[in-house]
């Protein structure tokens, strides 16, 4: 039997001038809400969750040190989100700094430096055991020539939900590293989507993503009596602002649904 939440999500999705993908998980099966859960979407900055997983796995294996210093030369800087692009050449940051900025600020330069250090193939190999069939890292951030050639990073709502769940609770990662991942996500600085219509102070560990025609946000909503995993992806938007408004609506809908469930 279809849940009331599912009905409301489908209604919202049908009204979006684009394609919506949603997964809601609350620890029970079947999922209380999902729309186009297996469909492929451009990953945008949600691919940074996969890079974070690979980074933490490499740390756990002792193959890299969080304190390893990386020099940021001008040739390595890219635009878009993030402050590293504004720093003087020769500035250094640790790998842990890069991982944190990749998540909290969605820093594209930090992300590309991590991709260079870990290796694109290594990142894809690290996420392979998680069972993410739609998720592939194929290019670095802000590589418009690759995008123009049709080479893009992809994922699905179901994959993002699974990846977030692993970062939160996977036995494949030490508790201290999982806690660090959640602390990065809770310190998110880009809060114009899922949290925008929520009451102030509601704990949310999340990551956003956007490209022309796509607006995403995905995270863990920590309520007093339960934790809800919320994944909202969009693509083929006629207007990105409509996508932002849609993600906000889903966030509030899910919050209201579970706040009434004490």
In DSSP notation, 54-99 reads HHHHHHHTTSS-TT-EEEE-GGG---SS-SGGGSPTTEEEEHHHHH
The β-bridge partners of 24 are: 33, 230
Q: How many distinct structural domains can be found in the chain? A: 1
- Tens of pLDDT, residue by residue over 204-239, are 999 999 999 999 999 999 999 999 999 999 999 999
70's torsion region: left (phi>0), alpha (psi -120 to 50) or beta? beta
Of 139, 133, 141, which Cα lies nearest the Cα of 151?
139
User: Does residue 38 surpass a pLDDT of 70?
Assistant: yes
CA 25 to CA 227: how far, in whole Å? 9
Nearest to 110 by CA among 118, 121, 119, 101: 101
Please report, for the domain that includes residue 46, its CATH number: 3.40.710.10
Contacts of 63 (CB under 8 A, 6+ apart): none
- How many other CB atoms are found less than 10 A from the CB of residue 50? 25
pLDDT category at 29 given cuts 50, 70, 90 is confident
Q: How do residues 134-176 score in pLDDT, each as one tens digit?
A: 999 999 999 989 989 999 999 999 999 999 999 999 999 999 9
> Can you give the pLDDT at residue 262?
42
Q: Is the dihedral of CA 89, 95, 96, 100 positive or negative?
A: positive
Encoded tokens for 29: 């099966």
Can you tell me whether residue 16 is helix, strand or coil?
A: coil
Whether a cis peptide bond, with omega within 30° of 0, leads into 30 is yes
Assess contact for 111 and 48: CB atoms under 8 A. yes
Q: Which residue range is the domain that position 59 belongs to?
A: 4-259
Residue listed under structure tokens 């469909």 = 39
The pTM of the full predicted model, rounded to 2 decimals, is: 0.96
pLDDT tens sequence across 105-122? 999 999 999 999 999 999
Q: What is the pLDDT of residue 196?
A: 98
Distance CA 22, CA 14 (A): 12
User: What are the b/e assignments for 84-101, b being 16+ CB within 10 Å?
Assistant: bbeeeeeeebebbbbbbb
Rounded Cα distance, 55 and 13, in Å = 34
Span 79-108, average pLDDT: 95
């Amino acid at each position: 039997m279809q849940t009331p939440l599912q009905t409301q999500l489908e209604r919202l999705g049908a009204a979006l001038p684009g394609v919506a993908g949603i997964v809601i998980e609350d620890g029970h099966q079947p999922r209380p809400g999902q729309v186009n859960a297996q469909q492929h979407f451009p990953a945008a900055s949600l691919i940074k969750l996969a890079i974070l997983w690979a980074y933490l796995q490499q740390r756990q294996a002792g193959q890299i040190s969080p304190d390893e210093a990386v020099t940021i030369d001008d040739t390595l800087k890219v635009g878009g989100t993030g402050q590293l692009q504004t720093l003087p050449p020769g500035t250094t940051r640790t790998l842990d700094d890069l991982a944190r900025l990749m998540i909290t600020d969605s820093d594209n330069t930090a992300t590309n430096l991590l991709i260079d250090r870990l290796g694109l193939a290594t990142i894809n190999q690290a996420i392979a055991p998680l069972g993410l069939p739609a998720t592939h890292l194929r290019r670095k951030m802000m590589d418009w020539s690759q995008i123009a050639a049709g080479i893009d990073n992809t994922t699905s709502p179901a994959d993002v939900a699974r990846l977030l769940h692993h970062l939160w609770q996977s036995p494949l990662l030490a508790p201290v590293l999982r806690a660090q991942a959640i602390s990065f996500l809770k310190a998110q600085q880009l809060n114009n989507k899922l949290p925008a219509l929520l009451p102030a102070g509601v704990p949310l560990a999340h990551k956003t993503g956007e490209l022309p025609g796509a607006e995403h946000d995905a995270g863990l909503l920590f309520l007093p009596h339960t934790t809800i995993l919320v994944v909202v992806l969009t693509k083929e938007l006629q207007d990105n602002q409509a996508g932002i408004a849609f993600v906000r609506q889903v966030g509030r809908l899910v919050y209201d649904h579970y706040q009434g469930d004490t």
